Amino acid sequence: EPEVTQTPSHQVTQMGQEVILRCVPISNHLYFYWYRQILGQKVEFLVSFYNNEISEKSEIFDDQFSVERPDGSNFTLKIRSTKLEDSAMYFCASSERGTSGGPPSTDTQYFGPGTRLTVL
């Protein structure tokens, strides 16, 4: 069964450094997402991406964050200058469709295993 994959599984960085988190969405999916989960807290939406542009972003997704689909398979999240409070598990997700009404499988957001980011 196709899966969303993420690399690395764990990233440790110093405060102020730039990090790039990588994701390979499911191959026929068109909508891509990043979420994060701070330890002990809810999963929070960061951004959605379709047709090479951001379709929706949260208030968390400020100028320090950017997303890119550099080629036909990868989807990346860049944090320009990491802060201590960016420490979290970052999840990439993808879905075949972004609008609802079709079969559940086409609207389901499938999540990757996550990248644990630790900012020291």
Residue ranges binding another protein (CB under 8 A): 31, 33, 35, 41-45, 48, 50, 55-56, 58, 91, 98-101, 104-105, 107-114
Nearer to another protein, 52 or 99 (CB): 99
CB of 48 to another protein, least distance (A): 4
Beta strands in 38-109 (DSSP E): 43-50, 53-57, 65-68, 75-79, 88-95
SS3 49: strand
Quickly list DSSP for 75-87. EEEEESS--GGG-
Nearer to another protein, 44 or 65 (CB): 44
Sheet holding 75-79, edge to edge: 5-7, 19-24, 75-79, 65-68
CB of 16 to another protein, least distance (A): 27
CB of 34 to another protein, least distance (A): 10
Nearer to another protein, 17 or 108 (CB): 108
d(CA 62, CA 56): 12
CB of 98 to another protein, least distance (A): 6
